Amino acid sequence: MAREIFTAEHEAFRDMVRSFISKEIAPHHEQWEKDGVVSREVWLAAGRQGLLGIDMPEEYGGGGDPDYRYYVVLNEELAKSGMHGPGFGVHNDINGGYLRQLCTPEQKARWLPGYCSGELITGIAMTEPAAGSDLQGIKTTATRDGDAYVLNGSKTFISNGILADLVIVVAKTDPSAGSKGVSLLMVERGMDGFERGRNLDKIGMHAQDTAELFFDNVRVPKENLLGEEGMGFIYLMQNLARERLSIGATAQAAAEAAFEQTLEYCKTREAFGRPIGRFQHNRFTLAEMKTELTVTRAFTDACIAKESRGELSVDEAAMLKYWNTELCKKVVDRCLQLHGGYGYMTEYPIAKAYQDVRVQTIFGGTTEIMKEIIGRGLGV
Ligand SMILES: Cc1cc2nc3c(=O)[nH]c(=O)nc-3n(C[C@H](O)[C@H](O)[C@H](O)COP(=O)(O)OP(=O)(O)OC[C@H]3O[C@@H](n4cnc5c(N)ncnc54)[C@H](O)[C@@H]3O)c2cc1C
């Protein structure tokens, strides 16, 4: 079915993204998987191509177009390519929201040009070793001392953690005030006491760096406070909806790509004298997946359209993330089964997809937390 949410401009942008992926990402991705991290050059190339900060003001080098659908196209094409190395989604869809809404003019002038050019890679650090789903349980503190905050604590599982030059760190500025005592601080590469730990060894997404971060009496100038002190939790709640939509929309695209590859495989791989797709069980499996993906596509595109109009609710984003990531996991698993032994070989895209998509039901808030949000919205 033709998708009604995109215009000719979006499709032209899609063509450009595809050619960027084949030119700037595909030739290097295998090496990046071995390295556990992409090159800084691909970030600069993305900046030159206008793929970073599409929604940022033009005066800072951004695209000046707040239309969220361009980010959807970028994420979809990366998901379809199976090359998850560049953490553009974290930088664009997630961190961009905080920077666009909360930076003062002085902060914008300081950070946005590098953000848009790819020279300044960003990360966001919420999760700690002992607090992920339960964000209010974070232990990192930022104590005001003269003209700075003194930051102490540690974070883990941080995407872009090795490459990031600028990290939005969630910290307690008033530990006695519960959710009202949480603030966002911008921590910059090179600040004394800011150290990175290991590049964590994951079961998938091998080309994307995920790291621990440590803060030992880091003096963060008060000019690096993002938004207002004590408002951090509210900012997180406002921005997590888009993060979840991005993950959900990416999951849908990844699942569709896995399905298309598998359909082709089922038409060409033969057993007992016929293509394996001709066995009724397999045909039914394909039919079920096609139906589930088509139905889910309708809700996904409705949510994308709503977000483009600024109307997507927290509950809808949670439903989309829950449903799409769980569906993606199930679709990729069934597709792998249809590939037989070849599905277990990492040279086959489906094997990689199996490893890569597993995290989607976990990061950005787990499926269980999504159900909590949806359930609370029902008043139960
Ligand atoms: C590859 C990767 C990249 C990531 N990138 C980032 C990043 O850039 N920045 C960042 O801040 N974080 C990041 N994360 C962290 C991610 O958001 C957390 O892992 C996630 O929120 C879950 O937190 P946790 O790991 O502490 O699990 P826990 O919160 O300990 O949960 C463990 C299990 O208990 C369940 N559970 C917890 N609470 C409840 C409840 N109330 N009801 C029912 N079940 C519950 C969970 O659903 C889960 O199944 C990343 C994680 C990964 C794996």
pLDDT digits (tens, 9 = 90+) for 313-332: 999 999 999 999 999 999 99
Name the pLDDT band for 131 (thresholds 50, 70, 90): very high
Task: Please tell me the class of the 8-120 domain.
Answer: mainly alpha
Yes or no: domain 123-230 corresponds to CATH 2.40.110.10:
yes
Ligand 1 pocket mutation pick from 90, 91, 157, 329 by most atoms within 8 angstroms of CB: 157
Average pLDDT of the residues of the chain = 97
Dihedral sign for Cα atoms in the order 84, 351, 254, 299: negative
State which ligand 1 atom lies nearest to the alpha carbon of 365. 21
The set of catalytic residues is 243
Distance from the alpha carbon of residue 310 to the mean position of ligand 1, in angstroms? 27
Measure the CA–CA gap between 107 and 186, rounded to whole angstroms: 10
**What confidence category does residue 2 fall into, taking pLDDT thresholds of 50, 70 and 90?**
confident
pLDDT in tens, 179-190: 999 999 999 999
Cβ < 6 A, ligand 1 pocket: 90, 123-127, 132-134, 157-159, 202, 210, 359, 362-366, 368-369, 372
State in Å: Cα 46 to ligand 1 middle. Answer: 29
**Residue of 122, 127, 372 to test ligand 1 pocket, by largest number of atoms within 8 Å of CB:** 127
Instruction: Summarize the confidence of residues 55-59 as an average pLDDT.
Output: 97
Q: What pLDDT sits at residue 200?
A: 98
Are 286 and 262 contacting, i.e. CB atoms less than 8 angstroms apart?
A: yes
The architecture in CATH of the region 234-377 reads Up-down Bundle (1.20)
The amino acid at residue 131 is A
The domain limits of the chain are 8-120, 123-230, 234-377
For ligand 1, atom 48, name the residue with the nearest CA: 366
| 154 within 8 A of 127, measured Cβ to Cβ | no
Ligand 1 centre distance from Cα of residue 370 (Å):
11
Q: Which residues contact 259 (CB under 8 A, 6 or more apart)?
A: 286, 289, 290, 293, 331, 335
Residue 231: pLDDT over 80: yes
pLDDT in tens, 257-287: 999 999 999 999 999 999 999 999 999 999 9
Q: How far is the CA of 321 from the centre of ligand 1 (A)?
A: 14
Alpha-carbon dihedral sign for residues 371, 237, 160, 350: positive
Please name the residues in contact with 21: beta carbons below 8 A apart, sequence gap of 6 or more.
77, 78, 81, 83
Which pLDDT score is estimated for 1?
A: 72
